[in-house]
Structure 1
Amino acid sequence: MNHALARLMDIWDGLGIKEEMRLRRMEEVKKHIEELLNRMISEEVDMKDRIEKSIQNCQKELKLLCHELSIEEYVVDEGMTVLQTERDLRVRLEMLLNEKNDRLEELRLLQQTDIELCTDLCVTPYYIPTGSIPSRQQLEELKEHIKVQTEEKKQRLQVFSTLRAEIRQCLDEMGRQPENSLEQDAICEDEEAFFLTADNIKALRVLKEQLELKKETMLSTLSALKERVQVLWSRLLVPQDEQETCQKSPLCPIANSIKLWENELIRLEDLKKANLKDVVLKIREELKMYWDKCFYSTEQRKSFTPYYNDDFTEELLSQHDEEVVRMRLQYEKCREMLDAVNKWETSWGQFVLLEKKATDPNRFSNRGGSLLKEEKERAKLQKMLSKLEEELKSRIEAWETEQGCAFLLKGHRFMDYITSQWEMHKKQKEREKQDRSLKKEEHTPFKTPIKRPAGSCIQGTPSNKTRKLNGTSNSAMSRTTVSNSSTASSTSSQSLNGKMPLSTIKEEMTKKSSNTDAIFNSTSTQMNILELHH
């Protein structure tokens, strides 16, 4: 500035300006410089005011943004100048504004996805107050909510696809069309047209169960029709080629199959009416088979009087059909026990046969150890019969308690029937024993005593050994006769008092069988000794 004033003085000197003019000009220069400085100062003051005001505005906006963004307020470093503070606050404000815009944009996209998912699933979207800026935690929770809903939609879509395929298959197998809006929506190809709500999925499950129940009912109806048709085929002696023609019908829906077998049943029913006698006789054969399997007594069989009616009418046929159905159900209900009873009957028959062989005198002429085998088999069967009887007794008692009715075998309670069989067998053995004794007495010749000649006593006198042997034989026979008579008397006295317990009957039969064998063996031994002596 001094250089500029000196330059002005030089110029003025060169121009020859007078001192007064110079002073006046100098005053003008000073005045001009003061005005310029004042204007500059005023501008700088304005700038300072603007900066300070900007700082204040930035601080206010930062405070508001920090509150909206849920972050801590920004604190200015006290060591910075005004310009540094203003620039730092401005940069910070710009950064927070960008973050705000980013959050709002992210929220918009996430909410759009969430609304679409929740609309499909018919659930409430994640709530964020309108106009507010979401926090980072809220955005993360929204993302997690969208993830969960996406997985839920995927699972429901998979369940829907599975249910739709099963419902469609069920309808196709039954041969029926959708009857209501739910069934139509269920088989619709457009997955987006069906709302995957929990109620809709539940309704689909219920619909599937109902259709499967209807399908099972139709299959049961079809099975019953086939069974009735096959029974009529058997009764009417329908040729095999006709049966195969009906059985080899092409695959078709269940409803069509039911219609096909219904037509065949109608045809067979008409044919049955035209052949009533043959059909009734065929049913009677089947009925007799079930009577035999259920061990029906003669009285029980006679109680079904239509069986003995020869007036073949439709009513008689209907009565026979009902009785066969009843017997079939009864047999199925008691099948396991009837099989066990049949096993007992078979074992009992074998046991009785072996018992009969055991009393046959000709059994000792057998060689090769067959006698020992039969004895072992008889003992084995006796043990098996006892075991079967105990098992059947407990099972039948449990069955009678459960069913509330008696289990009859040939018209008698099971244990009564078993006891009667053992008693009959015992009486039969005693009768056979008596018959053998009578036959033996009839065939034994009566010996007339012969008078000995004189002097023959020494020659005809038997030796001591022979007398002892005969004495032993006679005493053994006498003891056997006494024991048999005492046993027979005790048995007769017990039978007079009432039925003997099953265990007592078995024990006595076993003892008698062993006594008979012992007597026979001792007698045969004595006979052999006599032959050797003579």
Structure 2
Amino acid sequence: MSKSQIESTCASLQQELEIIWDEVGETETERDKILIDIEEECREVYNRKIEKVKEERIRLRQEIADTEARVIGICSVMEEPPILGRQHSSDQCGRSLKEELGKILLKLEEMDKRKSERKIQFIQVIEDIRCVRDETDGEPEESCSSDFSIDESDLSLRKLEELHTELYTLQEQKRNRVKQIQEHLRTLESLCSVLGLSFGETVVKIHPSLVESEGSRSISNETLHKLTSSVEQWHETKIQRMQELQDLVTTMLEYWNLMDTPAEEQQKFMDVSCNIAATVSEITKPNSLSIDLLEEVKAELCRLEDLKWSKMKELVLKKRSELEEICRRTHIVLEEEEDIEMDNVIKAIESGDVNPENILEQIEYRAGKVKEEALCRKDILEKAEKWLNACEEENWLEEYNQDENRYNAGKGSHLILKRAEKARALVTKLPAMVEALVSKITSWESEKEAEFLFDGNRLLSMLDEYTELREEKEQERRRKRDLKKLQGQVITSEQDKGTPTKPQSAKKSLKVATNKRFASSPRTDSPHSAKSMTSQSRYG
């Protein structure tokens, strides 16, 4: 209703009141009094209405302020800038308080909706975080779906991003945990296979879910700890069994070598013997370290040990023969205390007076010492062999030169001539060979402070004896040349005098003189006799 309508209504009512007063006959005083009362009542009504309107204005302003505060609070919680642009007075912006309130309520509704959506996001992320933590901590899965409250004081995107980062970190840790569990299971399966254990029975003791190939496996800290402990325990068991098996196989190989066990008997344990030098990671075949296999190897060792005692006499004789062969090849003579009579040893073994293993150890120890000694004698022995071979060629050449039919053509004569040429070339090197060998031996004896023995004889003495004999032979050859030259001069002189010569008697006298020379000279063993003795010692 407009103001003019109100004034028209009031004027109409006052006119109607005037008509009634005229009929009633009210005085002017009464009329003025009534009008004053009406005016007072109207004023009071206006005042009441004004007060109500003021209260409504205050309420609207308060509601606007409260709504604004709620919107600002939501924006603050979500860390977003305020979206309100209202002026302090509705008159200044040209909108009523109700319009302003309606607009703010729309903003509040929008922010409440966004807050609810943001809260749902927080709840989902926090629920995922709790579920992942419960899985790793070993909590029951039902706890993931239980209701829980969240802190609504901070629903910002920054906080949500932090929660997403935490969730991603936990999920990455979960993936690593799953991968670690799988690696442990593969390792445990390999260990069970090698040790001859049931993988299923071993795993079910840790956690029943680990047996399942599909589905959710337990990845809790407790499960991981038990699984890690189980892997370490069986890995240690694998190492212990491997060391035990390698010790058993080493002993078994010693028995095989000791008793010359046939290859067909060794074939049964060939796969086992291949692991004698293997590392822990290299042993991967199923049941290669099982209890049954260890017991089988132990049984074989017991059998070999029983067999060894029955063949001990043969073993002692065999090892003794091997030692003698080594000494023969290296030209070493055993000392008297080491040269044990085999007959006495066998009798002592049969009577049980001595332990045959001790005898074997002594023989093997001496064989090792002989081999060690042969290494430092190798260079000199090689030169001594060359010298002895050259002496043989020298003997052959002397016999060849004394053969009057050596130049007669015959089958194979060209080969003999070639050998003679080579022998002459080799004989010319003998002095240098002897000199080098003497130098080597002298240096060796000075370093070792011991004599270098060759088949029990001092090699340096043999060389000195050979040198002396060679000098005597050289002197003998010179005497022969001088006698031959003297004989030629005598024949020439007699021919000049016209005296008939008797060459046969001259030759006979030369031969007699030569024989007398050998008869009068002291007897000295030739290097060829030394060579012959050495050859006998080397070739039995």
**TM-score, length of structure 2 as denominator length:** 0.56
Higher RCO structure, 1 or 2 (CA under 8 Å, sep 6+): 2
Q: What is aligned with 1:59?
A: 68
Does structure 1 conserve the Cα–Cα contact (< 8 Å) formed by 2:181 and 2:219? no
Distance 1:306 1:112 in 2: 92
Letter in 2 for 1:440: R
Residue number in structure 1 paired with 2:533: none
Structure 2 equivalent of residue 267 of structure 1: 303
Q: 1:149 maps to which residue?
A: 170
- Runs of 5+ unmatched residues, structure 2: 140-148, 273-284, 401-415, 498-540
Secondary structure of residue in 2 paired with 1:192:
coil
Structure 2 CA distance for aligned equivalents of residues 6 and 280 of structure 1: 152
5 Å-filtered alignment, 1:120-159, equals 120-122=135-137, 132-159=153-180
Aligned-partner Cα distance in 2 for 1:264–1:142: 66
Q: Contact conserved, 2:70 with 2:108, CA < 8 A, in 1?
A: yes
Q: Mapping of 1:89-488 within 5 angstroms?
A: 89-122=104-137, 132-176=153-197, 184-185=205-206, 188-189=210-211, 192-193=217-218, 195-196=220-221, 203=229, 206-207=232-233, 209-231=235-257, 233-234=259-260, 241-244=264-267, 252-254=287-289, 255-285=291-321, 297-299=332-334, 302-303=337-338, 309-310=345-346, 311-313=348-350, 315-323=354-362, 344=379, 347-348=382-383, 351-352=386-387, 356=391, 365-366=417-418, 413=448, 423=460, 427=464, 430-437=467-474, 439-440=476-477, 445=483, 447=486, 450=490, 456=496
Q: Give the number of equivalent residue pairs.
A: 421
In 2, distance between residues paired with 1:454 and 1:370? 42
Contact 1:167 1:186 (C-alpha < 8 Å) held by counterparts: no
Distance 1:73 1:141, change over 3 A: same
Distance 1:413 1:160 in 2: 66
The answer to whether the 8 A contact 2:195-2:286 is kept is no
Task: Report if aligned partners of 1:121, 1:195 keep a CA contact under 8 Å in 2.
Answer: yes
The 2-side partners of 1:417 and 1:326 are apart by 21
Q: C-alpha displacement at 1:51, in angstroms?
A: 2.0
Kept after mapping to 1: 8 A contact 2:77/2:152: no
8 Å CA contact 1:167–1:211 kept in 2: the answer is no
Question: Is residue 171–residue 177 contact of structure 1 (8 Å, CA) maintained in 2?
Answer: yes
Contact between 2:390 and 2:426, CA under 8 Å: does it hold in 1?
no
Distance 1:55 1:171 in 2: 75
Cα RMSD, aligned residues only = 6.0
Aligned to 1:531: none
Distance 2:188 2:327 in 1: 46
C-alpha separation between the residues in 1 aligned to 2:21 and 2:424? 176
> How far has the Cα of 1:289 moved from its partner?
6.8
Change (3 A) 1:182 1:18: closer
Q: Residue 102 of structure 1: SS of its match in structure 2?
A: helix
Residue aligned with 1:366, SS = helix
Seen in structure 2, the aligned counterparts of structure 1 residues 414 and 194 have a Cα distance that, compared at 3 Å, is farther
Using the TM superposition, give the Cα deviation of residue 456 of structure 1 relative to its aligned residue in structure 2, in angstroms.
Answer: 4.3
Percent identity between matched residues is 12
Residues 252 and 210 of structure 1: CA distance in aligned 2, closer, same or farther (over 3 Å): closer
How does the TM-score come out when normalised to structure 1?
0.56
Deviation at 1:220, TM superposition (A): 0.9
**C-alpha distance in structure 2 between counterparts of 1:372 and 1:154, whole Å:** 88
Name structure 1 gaps, 5 residues minimum.
Answer: 394-408, 458-534
Q: How far, CA to CA, are the matches of 2:11 and 2:458 in structure 1? A: 166
Between the aligned partners of 1:230 and 1:454, the Cα distance in structure 2 is 86
Contact persistence 2:137–2:220 (CA under 8 A): yes
Residue 120 and residue 85 in structure 1: after superposition, are their counterparts in 2 closer, same or farther (change >3 A)?
A: same
| Distance (Å, rounded) in 1 between the aligned partners of 2:328 and 2:163 | 78
> Match of 1:54, as an amino acid?
E
